[in-house]
Structure 1
Amino acid sequence: MESAAPTPDQVFDHLEGRWRLDRTIPGQATMRGEAEFRRLPDGRLAYREQGRVELANGQAFDGHRDYVFAHSDGGFSVYFAEAPPRLFHRIALAREGDALEGSAGHLCAADQYHSRYRFLADGRFVVEHRVSGPRKDYLSRTVFTRG
């Protein structure tokens, strides 16, 4: 996938495997680590990220997060890894220049999450979560590189 981003229907399968992740939340924290998309027997992908979180005040700790991704026409859906699974958002992808891009929103209590996924021609992808509300106000940007 070095010369062109995958098509919207290829992205889900493109995710499978290991990725390096580099996350920044300006003025608050960074996280460096790895993520893995592992195929489940039902065809969905179990997502697990883990790495070292460093806060702006210098404190550091290990962190992780889990989701479940499911294929959908022209993109994918992301679910919280709970029983029963609960939808976080559904992403429909469209061509933007030489990349694919999709976005969705999610209301969590009174805080609004606006998420954007961008799949680049060089094989990387970027996920941004803009969170705003009475309890939260930040932009999280994660770059995933095949690892």
Structure 2
Amino acid sequence: MGEFWPVRDVLAHLAGSWRVERSVRDLAGGDAGEFTGVTVFGPLAGGGLLHHESGTFRWRGVARPAERTLRFLPGAAPGTADVRFADGRPFHGLDLTSGRHVVGHPCAADLYEGEFTVRDAGHWRSVWRVGGPAKDLVLVTEYTRGD
């Protein structure tokens, strides 16, 4: 990706509804799947945003409902976020002031390496590379503002 679109305040930028299209590739086994749905970033009591994603995940020809919830809290620096799992465990920081942010998250024996990029006010993307003894995946998610 060439140019990035700087975001002064990640929480203000993400607030609202986004259409989601995610591709999932298993690099070891060659399988591919996709998720389509919606992510809503709504107000969270005490500050921040509650991220709720819902839609349909298709894998190996089978479609099933899927959802997840994250908490995007105000980060240590102005305009940044501290992303946490629904139960409050830390996930990663998020600083889009340059329009791009790279993160790492160890999860048991796996390592999640993520890159977030913003194209403009209505489009952003995340790419996660997941590697470990049982996983070898690439997840690419395109977000398009939906409200």
**Structures share a fold, TM > 0.5?**
yes
**Alpha-carbon separation, structure 2, partners of 1:118 and 1:38:** 21
**Alpha-carbon separation, structure 1, partners of 2:69 and 2:96:** 22
Offset of 1:71 from its aligned partner? Answer: 2.1
TM-score, normalising length: structure 2 = 0.86
| Higher RCO structure (Cα 8 Å, ≥6 apart) | 2
Offset of 1:93 from its aligned partner? Answer: 3.1
RMSD (Å) for aligned C-alpha atoms: 1.6
Give the 5 Å matches for 1:107-146: 107-146=106-145
| Structure 1 unmatched runs, 5+ | none
Give the 5 Å matches for 1:53-64: 53-55=57-59, 57-64=60-67
| Structure 2 unmatched runs, 5+ | 26-30
Offset of 1:17 from its aligned partner? Answer: 0.7
Identity %: 33
Q: Deviations over 1:25-53 (max 9, x none)?
A: 13321000001001112111000101011
- Paired positions, count: 136
Offset of 1:122 from its aligned partner? Answer: 4.9
Q: Deviations over 1:37-81 (max 9, x none)?
A: 0111211100010101111x2111000011000122252111000
Offset of 1:19 from its aligned partner? Answer: 0.6
Q: Deviations over 1:93-121 (max 9, x none)?
A: 352xxxx0001111110000001111112
Give the 5 Å matches for 1:29-40: 29-40=33-44
Match of 1:78 among 57, 78, 83: 83
Q: Which runs of 4+ in 1 moved over 4 A?
A: none
